[in-house]
Structure 1
Amino acid sequence: MQGSKVQARCWVVAAVGGFLATSVWAASSQIWKNRTRSEREQGDLKGISLAGDGTLTLGPAFETLATAADPYLWSLARDSRGTIYAGGGNDGKVYRLGKDKKLELYFDSPELEVHALALDSKDNLYVGTSPRGKIYRVTPAGKSQEFFAPEETYIWALLFDGKGNLYAGTGTQGRIYRITPAGKGEVFLDTEETHIRVMALAPDGNLLAGTDGKGLVLKVDGEGKSQVLANAPLPEVTALVTGEGGKIYFAAAGQGQARAPQRPQPQVSAPRPAPAPGGEEERVPGQPPQENQPPQQPPQQPQQPAAPAGPPGAGVESKILCLERDGYAREIWGQAGELILSLALDREGSVIAGGGVDGKIYRVDPVRTDATLVHKADSLQISGLLKEPDGSLLAVGSNLGAVFRLGGKVGSEGTYQSAAFDARVFSSWGNLAWRGETPPGTSVRAQTRTGNTAEPDSSWSEWSAPVERREGGITHSPSARFIQWRATLRSSDGKASPRLGEVSVTYLQRNLPPEIKSLEVQAPGVVFQKPNKSSSTAAPGEGAGSAGRGDRDRSSHRGSQQPRPQSDKEGRAAQWGASDPNGDDLTYSVYYRAADEKEWKLMEKDLTDPFFSWDATSMADGTYLLRVVAEDTPSNPEGSALSTDRLSDPFDVDNNPPSISPIRAAVSGSSARLEFEVADTFSNVGEVIYSANAREWEVATPVDGITDSPKEDYRIDLTKLAAGEVTVVVKATDSAGNSATTKTVLQVGASR
């Protein structure tokens, strides 16, 4: 009796490289965790299955049986003796798989493509060719002849019923033909669809067909009457297979957003006679003759890829649905960016799906409605699947033309190689850990390698010695910016598989100094305030506990908020943009000095937000500079922190208004002349205006005609003054916006 199965759950921790105890390394280590499906889909799987929760296991045994000289293999068939045939393109050839695992040419058709193969009870092989739509019969002795020519463009599917009749699904007129063993054919079903893409036999002997156009699943009885079983959410049914209990599984594909599946009303269609060879083809009811129709596009098939405009599979979507016996079609899995081309059922009743983007093979659980990526083939498209008597599956691939076997047993070995991880800066690597299960007879070993290029190349280090023991082991990977891990999973008996969950790598970044990318002093009269906070302004040198503008908020760097500007005619503010390559928290110190001074004076320290406001009236008129120092002290121990600084552009502080000299006035009759001088101690004189008896302001022009210096002389001539007392007010403004006013009172004519 076999012993009970023991599953060991473990954390395996292995030192990858000792952290360097020097001040150039950051204080806080970080952990890179790799565990989700989306993360692991970026890596490279060989013989590994990827579950929906990101768990890695050994996939089914996967074997490349043979490769073809042709780039595309689209169809598969097996005769009663177990001989395997594969058809493809671009030369319309059919190959036979020999015992030496080599594909030997069995039939060379005059056409370009072979999308369909079928075998009768006598092992005669029937070959459906395109794009001139002919069917050939090849005897077991290798003799071939044209069997039926329906004058269609594409032969997509071939299928025998229990009476020996051959059915052919065609395009671009969406017809199904029934051909007797004698080679006499008729149109069995004429639809309004473009292509009959796939066919299968229902358990009751009726014919099932999937279309391209509206994405219909049809059931056709022996009289050629059809019923729509399902209207797929995407326009093309690309694969169809029957399951236990009368269930039908089908894949639909197309571009853009899928529509909801519909349960359509039954539609009935009767058979029609086949068109006479060389005669005029009858048009599809309700549509114009073929020559007046827009060009028809063939359905989804692997072709030589053009230069990609985006990531593989961009804009494509596939869904797999289960059609229940009661007629309800439920989606069991869907994937944007994937093109499902083939379906089969494994021995457990799960759906095996072949992808057409990068050679992925999925196992879809129809009950849990999730998918496991079981293998990734060397071919870019898995064009066809065929179930073997022993429960294994055969697959044909395109872009590389090949035949594969997906075995019923677990593979003996598989490897997963992660995508490279970017630590952003040069780092030292610490512990490698993994979570998982290793049943008896299975094992997991992990390795790492590092480098300083985003994509691993010859400059990267060698793979480290594997960590194989359950309790872990020591390995070494050099310090670098990028790291990659690789896991090898093994099974000795092909029955059980290890399970690899989360993998984590601890690392310590080299400490790099902060960066201050910008520093801007705001215009006079603008200060900053945090949302819902009081103004954070202070005079130079005021401490954090000072009242008024000294009440600063010292919230953490991670929680810093964008400042809100507000007006304060006595205030000034500065704002800067700072970051840290290590992601460290930062604190800031602000210094100032006048342009004619040498030493910096501290205004404030330990700021956590990248802005600062202060009272500009505490500074004498003059030209100044600010210096902001950023430090990563909060995230590093004393002696290990780094800093950087940045200087502002020179800015002016002008707190004092200009002065206006006493006005000298000379009155003559109803006229008067006023003369005065305006001077400023720091900036140029700005606008000077005057008003007589509170009338509208008028602009005064300097005697020399231009305002361009800190001192200007003015002469104002007033005329047509009314007799009596006239009050003249003069207002002078400097270039900083400071203003001063004065007045003089004139006596014009006789006093009242």
Structure 2
Amino acid sequence: MKYAGEILFCLAFAASALAVNSKLYKYDTAMDFSAGETENVAIDSEGTLHLNKKHKLLAEKLEDVWAVNDIVVIDGKIFAGTSPNAGLFRITEEKAENIYRSEKKEDKPVGPVKEEKSEEKDKAENSESEEKEEIVNEHIFAVEKGFNGKLTAGISGKECRILEFGKDQSNPETLCKIEDAAFIFDLQFHKGSLYAATGPNGKIFKISADGKTEVFFDSIDRGITVMAFYKDKLYAGTDKRGLLYCIDMETKKGKALFDSPEMDITSINFDDEDNIYITAAIEDPSAESKNGSDMPSYMPPHPKESEDKKEEKLFTLQNGGLRLKLAATAKKDMLERKENGGDKKEKVKSALYKIAPDGIVSVLGKGSGVFLDSIMHKGRLWVADGKDASLSQIDTDKIVIENVYRDKISSEITSLYTAGGKIYAATANPPRIIEFHDGLSSEGWWQSDTIDAKQPSKWGSVKLDGKIPEGCRIEFSARGTNVQNAREEDFTEWTKPLSAQSEEPAIEGSHRFLQLKLMLKGSENRSPKVNAAAVASVVRNIKPVVAAPMIKSEEKKTEAVIAIPAKDENDDELIFSIDIQGEDSDRWVNIEEDHKEKKFKWDTSTVPDGIYKLRVTASDRLSNGPENALESVSTETEYIVDNTPPVCSGQNVETKGTEGKVKFTLTDKYTVIGKVSYTLNSSDDWNTVIPDDLLADSKRESFTITLSGLEKGDNILAVRYADEAGNSAYERFVMEAE
């Protein structure tokens, strides 16, 4: 497919007479894309969508199984060790069959158990579902291709043992019992011997073909959870302390290569340059109540309950294919990302480490889910993440992480295995087996999370940045609703798919909420790529809303702060004009124009004292232009400007002997008389004076100060007075005592 031409990134619709407000919603990071859903589409850490690995479901109905713990491939057949009941299954493309299951009933079963019922109770409950089958407290956490290519399985439980199956995987026999263990977490066959990693005593056992068992390595750790052989050395990871040991095969001595901040090592891999890759997990504090105090917390405990304006060429030919590019956006503030649940930070539970041959450790990635397993396949590291049952492929050189699969049914991907150029993944709750091929899926889709335009809006065309090789195709579709927290039935039908170059609107009509779907179509070895996707909404301009301004005096008496309560449903940038009107005037006077803040400091010393009305006009002109701008005017607020202290009048001084009396009246034009106090003969002590009527509640008050014990001669009385606005003054009185 080839296309050449010049297309403008613009938004236009029929309602040209209306003022409009547009916003661009853009997806261009891994986090953006991951907020949506995918089918056969991978998302890498650089924020690129492309078709993922071809895969198919091999098994999904394993009877009475909660989790597949480990898998191995022998002669083209897949064998899965499961929980509970230590079930072992053989899986081919035709069917999945149970070839072994623990029959012994333990004294303390876990999980749902059969309830003993009286005859009367049986009759009362005969309409209920069938009784749940008793669960045996045994598990198969490890399966391996053992002696002579035979299937070998480790049974964890009260009687810890290793089973060996015949060539046709029938007639299992106990190869050995391991007395000093309750759990077999891993089995590895190496140079004619079988090695078992166990807990809860942290030992590795070496087993010969005739079943003889010896302790090969004894650690002080609780459990050895995983092993890997590389260049005649055995590497082992532990739980609780999160150590990685390197064990010499001759001396059987081990040294700790790495002490992980996380508590459990879950997998070990190597590349051709002798780098070691390990995954490590933090334990769940509630694990002991689920799994028992000696079992690693990342083991699946029980089934999970289901939950239901710049011109630019956007398309250019590149390498015989099509190159898509988003137009440059002139204003950064016109870009608006989706709010996908806010900024809540999830706790890191797992980490992926790279240990270089010289011992230098680097962190390749961390996750909020539990990394349950990993495997090296054709130079790429595949990591199973317990969160959302996702599977990632990592280029360890470029540190590019690509999410290649997410299981929508199971809660966790628990185990990985590679054989014959394929990768096999096992899951838990419910158990499933998936097979991955090197080729790509022929088609897939990505669906966005719900975009909220805040108001019913018209939507523009979808713009993409990406590459479309020859023979590949990208199409988009959309659906809308005006229902918040919408269910499937609340949405419109998906629109007819349009090509990536289409300039048609994503959807017709007016919708507050929108979902996009990108459909990618490719071939076995070619895939289109999407680096970014964007769509714009346009909504009729809505008037800003502005309430009556609130005014508060500052400590500086000639300053008042005007607070402007305003909002705009379009999220437009608002500017404010502030006007005042004197009490004896019909004229409004502007004191501030095009103010951008919602607070304004007014210097009241620039106007005479008096009672003023204030109003604010809010305009969205900056976001819509003069021709389309809308404005609103607030209701009026009154404010008294009083920068003058009260006037003192009616002063009268009387003295008789050593006694004296002073009378005076204070009058203020606008404000109630405030605090009045006096001091005699420059004393540091100021005494409060109460009005003659005992109430300080008016703009005119009379005061009397009576003194005794005056010193002979002149006595100076200083009176300090103020109004409620804080304007103060002093008056001086002289009293001559005899």
Q: Shared topology, TM-score over 0.5?
A: yes
Give the match for residue 172 of structure 2. 144
Q: Does 1:75 align with 2:73?
A: no
**Which of the numbers 112, 132, 142 marks the counterpart of 1:116?**
142
**Which of the numbers 219, 233, 245 marks the counterpart of 1:191?**
219
1:645-695 C-alpha deviation (Å, 9 max, x unpaired): 444764433344333333334443443444443333443333344455555
Q: Assess if the C-alpha contact under 8 Å between 2:353 and 2:365 holds in 1.
A: yes
Aligned pairs for 1:412-451 within 5 A: 412-451=442-481
Give the match for residue 300 of structure 1. 298
Q: Does 1:366 align with 2:396?
A: yes
Give the match for residue 250 of structure 1. 278
Q: Assess if the C-alpha contact under 8 Å between 1:14 and 1:474 holds in 2.
A: no
Deviation at 1:408, TM superposition (A): 1.4
Aligned pairs for 1:208-219 within 5 A: 208-219=235-246
**Which of the numbers 416, 432, 440 marks the counterpart of 1:410?**
440
Q: Could you tell me the TM-score, scaled by structure 2's length?
A: 0.79
How many Å separate the matches in 2 of 1:62 and 1:414? 12
Aligned pairs for 1:11-410 within 5 A: 18=13, 20-26=15-21, 29-67=22-60, 68-69=62-63, 70-80=65-75, 82-100=76-94, 102-109=95-102, 110=104, 111-132=137-158, 133-139=160-166, 140=168, 142-151=170-179, 152-163=181-192, 165-204=193-232, 206-223=233-250, 225-228=252-255, 230-233=257-260, 234-244=262-272, 248-254=276-282, 296-304=294-302, 314-324=347-357, 327-328=358-359, 330-331=361-362, 333-346=364-377, 348-378=378-408, 379-389=410-420, 391-410=421-440
Deviation at 1:117, TM superposition (A): 0.9
How many Å separate the matches in 2 of 1:217 and 1:613? 65
Structure 1, 707-716 or 56-65: larger mean CA deviation = 707-716
Structure-2 change in CA distance of 1:353 and 1:710 (3 Å): closer
Structure-2 change in CA distance of 1:13 and 1:251 (3 Å): farther
The amino acid that maps onto 1:93 is G
After the TM superposition, which segments of 4 or more aligned residues of structure 1 sit over 6 Å from their partners? Answer: 6-17, 305-308, 310-313, 594-599
Structure 1, 468-477 or 433-442: larger mean CA deviation = 468-477
Give the match for residue 117 of structure 2. none
**Which of the numbers 696, 714, 717 marks the counterpart of 2:706?**
717
Deviation at 1:466, TM superposition (A): 1.1
How many Å separate the matches in 2 of 1:706 and 1:680? 16
SS in 1 for 2:462: strand
How many Å separate the matches in 2 of 1:518 and 1:173? 74
1:112-167 C-alpha deviation (Å, 9 max, x unpaired): 3111112335453222122332222232262123332213111111122332x322
How many Å separate the matches in 2 of 1:736 and 1:518? 22
How many Å separate the matches in 2 of 1:625 and 1:11? 57
How many Å separate the matches in 1 of 2:547 and 2:283? 44
Structure 1, 728-737 or 36-45: larger mean CA deviation = 728-737
Deviation at 1:575, TM superposition (A): 2.8
The amino acid that maps onto 1:42 is A
1:710-729 C-alpha deviation (Å, 9 max, x unpaired): 33333443434445455555
SS in 2 for 1:431: coil
How many Å separate the matches in 1 of 2:696 and 2:500? 87
How many Å separate the matches in 1 of 2:676 and 2:279? 83
Deviation at 1:489, TM superposition (A): 1.3
1:508-545 C-alpha deviation (Å, 9 max, x unpaired): 2332333447843122xx3xxxxxxxxxxxxxxxxxxx
Aligned pairs for 1:469-508 within 5 A: 470=501, 475-492=506-523, 494-508=524-538
Deviation at 1:469, TM superposition (A): 6.3
Structure-2 change in CA distance of 1:184 and 1:691 (3 Å): closer
Q: Assess if the C-alpha contact under 8 Å between 1:9 and 1:435 holds in 2.
A: no
How many Å separate the matches in 1 of 2:718 and 2:146? 115
SS in 2 for 1:662: strand
Structure-2 change in CA distance of 1:462 and 1:252 (3 Å): same
1:443-462 C-alpha deviation (Å, 9 max, x unpaired): 11111222234555322222
The amino acid that maps onto 1:369 is I
Q: Assess if the C-alpha contact under 8 Å between 2:461 and 2:503 holds in 1.
A: no
Structure 1, 169-178 or 678-687: larger mean CA deviation = 678-687
Aligned pairs for 1:500-579 within 5 A: 500-516=530-546, 519-523=549-553, 526=554, 567=556, 569-579=557-567
The amino acid that maps onto 1:652 is I
The amino acid that maps onto 2:189 is F
Structure 1, 129-138 or 413-422: larger mean CA deviation = 129-138
Structure 1, 471-480 or 380-389: larger mean CA deviation = 471-480
How many Å separate the matches in 2 of 1:740 and 1:598? 34
How many Å separate the matches in 2 of 1:211 and 1:168? 13
The amino acid that maps onto 1:181 is A
Q: Assess if the C-alpha contact under 8 Å between 1:435 and 1:500 holds in 2.
A: yes
Deviation at 1:89, TM superposition (A): 1.0
How many Å separate the matches in 1 of 2:729 and 2:551? 26
The amino acid that maps onto 1:334 is G
How many Å separate the matches in 2 of 1:300 and 1:453? 39
Q: Assess if the C-alpha contact under 8 Å between 2:74 and 2:145 holds in 1.
A: yes
Q: Assess if the C-alpha contact under 8 Å between 1:203 and 1:246 holds in 2.
A: no
The amino acid that maps onto 1:225 is K
Q: Assess if the C-alpha contact under 8 Å between 1:197 and 1:237 holds in 2.
A: yes
Q: Assess if the C-alpha contact under 8 Å between 1:344 and 1:386 holds in 2.
A: yes
How many Å separate the matches in 1 of 2:257 and 2:479? 52
- Unmatched 5+ stretches in structure 2: 105-136, 285-291, 308-342
Coordinate RMSD, CA, aligned: 3.5
Give the match for residue 130 of structure 2. none
- Unmatched 5+ stretches in structure 1: 1-5, 257-293, 527-565
The amino acid that maps onto 1:142 is S
Q: Assess if the C-alpha contact under 8 Å between 1:420 and 1:454 holds in 2.
A: no
How many Å separate the matches in 1 of 2:240 and 2:171? 37
How many Å separate the matches in 2 of 1:338 and 1:589? 53
The amino acid that maps onto 2:615 is R
SS in 1 for 2:490: coil
The amino acid that maps onto 1:89 is S
1:431-450 C-alpha deviation (Å, 9 max, x unpaired): 21112222222211111222
Give the match for residue 561 of structure 1. none
The amino acid that maps onto 1:126 is T
How many Å separate the matches in 2 of 1:608 and 1:170? 69
Q: Assess if the C-alpha contact under 8 Å between 1:158 and 1:168 holds in 2.
A: yes
How many Å separate the matches in 2 of 1:34 and 1:10? 24
Give the match for residue 461 of structure 1. 492
Structure-2 change in CA distance of 1:718 and 1:479 (3 Å): same
